[in-house]
């Protein structure tokens, strides 16, 4: 179980760990030290995806009719196993994708929370029982599973995000094929290993690693996959939605963000500072909910910026296994290059001014990895690309606002709408912001990151297509409603017609 130095991860199809039909394996390297090979993974093909879908389809016949409380018992077991293995899996995750141990422990913990939340749904899965308009007649709604679900996930929450999809899908009676990001195959492997240890029947959960188009694309197009649940970039999400639109396949998309924190002049500025440090530079800014813009009310702008720069310069970068490190690396070389390109774009635009960072970070051991110095750009205005497009790195754009309405209007002025935050002591301003901010999540006096699994997660505009994961709202992704009418009058009763003569 986990934490061997180099781990060979296999596909999991129909209850068996298997190599890909291609015979090809890829290398999984530590982004904090590119010389360290953490493991290998299967570079699978569309045929492997087909095998997994066939296994999931076969398992669906018996899994769907197993009572939901029994299905839930498996999830409680998975939750217990993840709890036992939390530390080992967190360490594996830090080694394969770089974020610091405190955060990878949190990532596994989110999976544990989701296991218990989803397990609890096994004894709920509520429908509505409502009165019927005719006598001796009953009516209610109930949830039904849909079939095989294709789950396609990114690298930044390599265990939590797969669990957000997998556990609700299973408790509802579906079976699943998981296709994780190629930067983080080991965390997906660890999750499926925990499912296997919990005794889930063969074929209920399947894992196929490999590239987006070859494996993910096949799941999207496969006629036996009835639901696609995708988390990733808006560009890929759009392509997936187009394909699913053609076949009328259900698709739930959780996409990018361009989140902002507003700080008003009456705020607790020390608190706001802690919030933006965590929101912007936690996970090295590689969170869909990361704080990418700091909107400062004019009277306190200079003060907050000075305080912030002082603190940012003290952040410790390094290998996330060192508990004193605060910021890990970018997940890959190409991710770091992409972030740097945005900083260059920012500096070439209008009046943006580089306040700190803006370069690869290569001090000491960091030279071996893909580190990027925490970066602040001041003088940013709402029309600049760095104010509108997702960067997904430790880069913060500072924008000045004249008043609350101006701040909210700047915050709303992007194509995205995932997370948002306002720091103020004025309850009226807080409620005004809750009402007017266009986002799926608003925090008051908290940073843009830190969602809990019992509340809906997702966003508006280009962040998604209207679904919400977590909470009970995720059940709408993985079930079809059936309305049931039972007429025990013994005669034909016509709705809307026989109501007047009803006894
Ligand atoms: P990505 O879109 O590049 O890849 C996501 C997944 O899709 C990977 O498994 C990839 O292999 C697969 N994929 C790529 N092309 C595909 C295709 N044509 N068909 C099917 N699958 C395909 O995203 P990423 O770089 O892994 O993750 C970063 C992005 O994810 C950011 O935009 C971030 O905001 C977003 N994200 C969103 C949320 C959310 O809940 N809203 C959470 C985390 C990350």
Q: How far apart are the first and last CA of the chain?
A: 67
pLDDT at 33: 97
**DSSP string of 202-265, one letter each residue:** TTSEEE----IIIIIHHHHH-TTEEEEEEES-HHHHHHHHHHHHHHT-EEEEE----EEEEE-T
Task: Walk along the chain (503 residues) in steps of 10 and give the mean pLDDT of each run.
Answer: 72 98 97 97 98 99 98 98 98 98 98 98 98 98 98 98 98 99 98 98 98 98 98 97 97 98 98 98 97 98 98 97 98 98 91 94 98 98 96 98 98 98 98 98 98 98 97 98 98 93 54
346: Cβ below 6 Å to ligand 1?
no
For 433, the enclosing helix (H) or strand (E) is helix 427-436
pLDDT value of position 500: 75
Distance from residue 140's CA to the centre of ligand 1 (Å)? 38
- Which of 155, 232, 233 to mutate for ligand 1's pocket (most ligand atoms within 8 Å of CB)? 232
Which pLDDT does position 502 carry in this prediction? 52
Establish whether residue 3 lines the binding site of ligand 1, counting it when its CB lies within 6 angstroms of any ligand atom. no
- Give the pLDDT score at 349: 83
What domains are there in the chain, each with its CATH number?
A: 14-255+464-483 (3.40.605.10), 259-444 (3.40.309.10)
The preferred substitution site among 154, 395, 469 for testing ligand 1, maximizing ligand atoms within 8 Å of CB, is 154
DSSP character string of 354-389: EEE--SB--SGGGGGTT-B--EEEES--TTSHHHHS
Task: Specify whether 356 is catalytic.
Answer: no
From 41, 230, 236, mutation site for ligand 1 pocket: most ligand atoms within 8 A of C-beta: 236
Q: How distant, in Å, are the alpha carbons of 62, 273, 279 from that of 301? A: 61, 12, 18
The rounded Å distance from CA 152 to ligand 1 centre is 8
CA distance 116 to 167: 9
**Vertex 325, ends 378 and 310: CA angle to 5°?**
30
CB of 26 closer than 6 angstroms to any ligand 1 atom:
no
Residue 118 Cα to ligand 1 midpoint, Å, equals: 24
Q: Is 155 in the pocket of ligand 1 (CB under 6 A)?
A: yes
Q: Is the CB of 239 under 6 A from ligand 1?
A: yes
CA dihedral 344, 349, 351, 352 (to 10 degrees): -30
**What pTM value is reported for the model?**
0.97
Cβ of 233 less than 6 Å from ligand 1:
yes
Task: Print burial letters for 152-177: b (CB count within 10 Å at least 16), e (below 16).
Answer: bbbbbbbbbbbbbbbbbbbbbbbbbb
Cα–chain center distance at 135: 48
Q: How far apart are CA 308 and CA 286, in angstroms?
A: 20
Ligand 1, atom 42: closest residue by C-alpha: 288
Which one, of 146, 157, 254, 162, lies nearest residue 208 by Cα?
Answer: 162
Q: What is the largest CA-CA distance in the chain?
A: 87
* Pocket lining: 259 vs ligand 1, CB cutoff 6 Å: no
Active site includes 149? no
């Amino acid at each position: 179980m986990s934490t061997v130095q180099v781990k060979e991860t296999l596909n999991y199809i129909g209850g068996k760990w298997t190599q890909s039909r291609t015979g090809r394996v890829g290398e999984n390297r530590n982004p904090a030290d590119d010389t360290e090979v953490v493991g290998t993974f299967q570079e699978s093909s569309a045929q492997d995806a087909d095998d997994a879908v066939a296994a999931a389809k076969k398992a669906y016949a018996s899994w769907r009719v197993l009572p939901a409380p029994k299905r839930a018992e498996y999830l409680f077991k998975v939750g217990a196993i993840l709890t036992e293995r939390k530390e080992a899996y967190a360490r594996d995750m830090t080694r394969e994708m770089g974020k610091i141990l405190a955060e990878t422990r949190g990532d596994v913990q989110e999976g544990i929370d989701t296991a218990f939340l989803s397990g609890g749904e096994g004894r709920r899965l509520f429908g509505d029982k409502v009165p019927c308009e005719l006598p001796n007649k009953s009516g209610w709604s109930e949830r039904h599973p849909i079939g095989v679900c294709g789950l396609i996930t990114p690298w930044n929450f390599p265990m939590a995000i797969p669990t957000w999809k997998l556990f609700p899908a299973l408790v509802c009676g579906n079976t699943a094929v998981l296709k994780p990001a190629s930067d983080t195959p080991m965390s997906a492997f660890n999750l499926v290993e925990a499912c296997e240890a919990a005794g889930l029947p063969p074929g209920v959960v399947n894992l196929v690693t490999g590239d987006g188009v070859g494996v993910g694309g096949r799941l999207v197009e496969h006629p036996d996959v009835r639901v696609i649940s995708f988390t990733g970039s808006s560009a890929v999400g759009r392509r997936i939605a187009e394909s699913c639109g053609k076949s009328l396949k259900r698709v739930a998309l959780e996409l990018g963000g361009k989140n902002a924190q507003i700080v008003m002049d009456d705020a607790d500025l020390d608190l706001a500072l802690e919030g933006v440090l965590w929101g912007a530079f936690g996970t090295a800014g590689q969170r869909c909910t990361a704080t990418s813009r700091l909107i400062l009310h004019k009277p306190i702008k200079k003060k907050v910026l000075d305080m912030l720069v002082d603190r940012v310069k003290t952040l410790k970068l390094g290998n996330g296994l060192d508990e004193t490190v605060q910021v890990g690396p970018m997940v890959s070389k190409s991710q770091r290059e992409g972030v740097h390109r945005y900083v260059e774009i920012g500096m070439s635009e209008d009046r943006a001014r580089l306040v700190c960072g803006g370069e690869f970070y290569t001090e000491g051991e960091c030279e071996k990895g893909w580190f990027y110095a925490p970066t602040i750009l001041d003088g940013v205005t709402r029309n600049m690309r760095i104010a509108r497009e997702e960067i997904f790195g430790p880069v913060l754009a500072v924008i000045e606002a004249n008043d609350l309405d101006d701040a909210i209007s700047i915050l709303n002025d992007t194509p995205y709408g995932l997370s948002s935050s306002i720091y103020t002591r004025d309850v009226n301003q807080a409620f005004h912001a809750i009402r007017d901010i266009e986002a799926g999540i608003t925090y008051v006096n908290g940073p843009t990151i830190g969602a809990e699994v019992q509340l809906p997660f997702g966003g508006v505009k280009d962040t998604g297509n209207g679904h919400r994961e977590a909470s009970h709202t995720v059940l709408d992704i993985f079930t079809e409603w059936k309305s049931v009418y039972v007429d025990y009058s013994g005669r034909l009763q016509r709705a809307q017609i026989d109501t007047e003569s009803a006894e």
